[in-house]
């Protein structure tokens, strides 16, 4: 059953909360790191995809999706704190009465703000490098960003639900595994699935949009477009992680969890 992995989810949530209680600044710095790690994945994915995009190759998206998987490895092993994963961890811990819901909301808001700051900082670094100044390189990125900003709100919302369902699974499934190689493969496989499917990830979008805004871009790419995308995508990610992961796994495993609590001489508050 999933109960052993869920114990790790609960433990991870409590460790993150402990960091937050010790220092909000340190917690936010971890959130900043996470979105900068995603920024590395964005750069690798869109630079790789741009070579195929220029040739109108059908391999454009598959190659970008494969290389974007580097981001989740950096976050998992580099110690970043990602809002989208936290929607799962903290919801589950709150349902288990290990965290208060007010604390959960504070943790979500802090990690989201940190992720946003990290995306802005990373975009600044990329601007200073000049690596995306050429139309030969940034054409693929700008094309994707424009489509994301023009997509209907309802579609963005449901794409985001499915996205974070997969992303949370990318962190959850490897908890069953012991070998680092197997864990990395599983993580990259799930990330490939969400990227190639065209789903929407709020933090990845933050990084992509921030880079698009600091390079020479068409008028269709704007702050209004950023808000049009990020608002429904953030809400969709929240529902995907909190509802389809945190709430769902709590409900389907509750009888087993209650039994284990009784055996340990504990009871849910």
CATH architecture assigned to 3-259? Up-down Bundle (1.20)
Contact 191, 168 (CB under 8 A): no
Digit-coded pLDDT (tens) for 192-239:
999 999 999 999 999 999 999 999 899 899 999 999 999 999 999 999
Residues in the chain: 269
Q: Can you give the pLDDT at residue 121? A: 96
Digit-coded pLDDT (tens) for 24-69:
999 999 999 999 999 999 999 999 999 999 999 999 999 999 999 9
Q: pLDDT band for 268, please (50, 70, 90 cuts).
A: very low
Contact 90, 69 (CB under 8 A): no
Q: pLDDT band for 119, please (50, 70, 90 cuts).
A: very high
Contact 76, 187 (CB under 8 A): yes
pTM over 0.85: yes
Residue spans of the domains in the chain: they are 3-259
Distance between CA 82 and CA 166 in Å, rounded? 14
Instruction: Please state the φ and ψ torsions of residue 80, each to the nearest 5 degrees.
Output: -80, 160
Q: Which of 224, 231, 208, 217 is nearest to 119 (CA)?
A: 208
Buried-state track 233-268, b at ≥16 Cβ within 10 A, e below 16: bbebbbbbbbbbbbbebbeebeeebeeeeeeeeeee
Q: Which of 252, 234, 226, 78 is nearest to 145 (CA)?
A: 226
Q: pLDDT band for 137, please (50, 70, 90 cuts).
A: confident
């Amino acid at each position: 059953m999933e109960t052993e992995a869920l114990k790790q989810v609960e433990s991870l949530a409590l460790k993150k909360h402990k960091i937050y209680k010790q220092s909000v600044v340190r917690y936010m710095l971890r959130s900043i790191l996470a979105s900068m790690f995603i920024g590395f994945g964005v750069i690798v994915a869109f630079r790789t995809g741009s070579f195929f995009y220029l040739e109108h190759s059908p391999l454009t998206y598959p190659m970008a999706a494969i290389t974007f998987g580097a981001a989740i490895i950096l976050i998992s092993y580099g110690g970043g704190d990602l809002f989208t994963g936290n929607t799962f961890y903290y919801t589950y811990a709150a349902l288990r009465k290990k965290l208060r819901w007010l604390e959960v909301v504070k943790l979500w808001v802090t990690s989201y703000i940190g992720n946003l700051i990290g995306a802005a900082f990373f975009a600044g670094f990329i601007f200073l490098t000049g690596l995306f100044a050429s139309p030969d390189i940034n054409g693929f990125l700008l094309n994707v960003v424009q489509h994301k900003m023009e997509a209907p709100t309802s579609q963005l919302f449901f794409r985001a639900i499915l996205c974070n369902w997969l992303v949370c699974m990318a962190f959850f499934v490897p908890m069953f595994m012991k070998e680092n190689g197997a864990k990395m493969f599983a993580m990259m496989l799930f990330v490939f699935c969400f990227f190639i499917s065209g789903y929407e990830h709020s933090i990845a979008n933050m990084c992509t949009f921030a880079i698009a805004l600091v390079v020479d871009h068409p008028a269709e790419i704007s702050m209004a477009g950023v808000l049009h995308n990020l608002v429904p995508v953030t809400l969709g990610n929240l529902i995907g992680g909190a509802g389809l992961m945190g709430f769902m796994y709590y409900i389907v495993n509750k009888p087993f969890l209650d039994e284990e609590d009784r055996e340990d001489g504990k009871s849910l508050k």
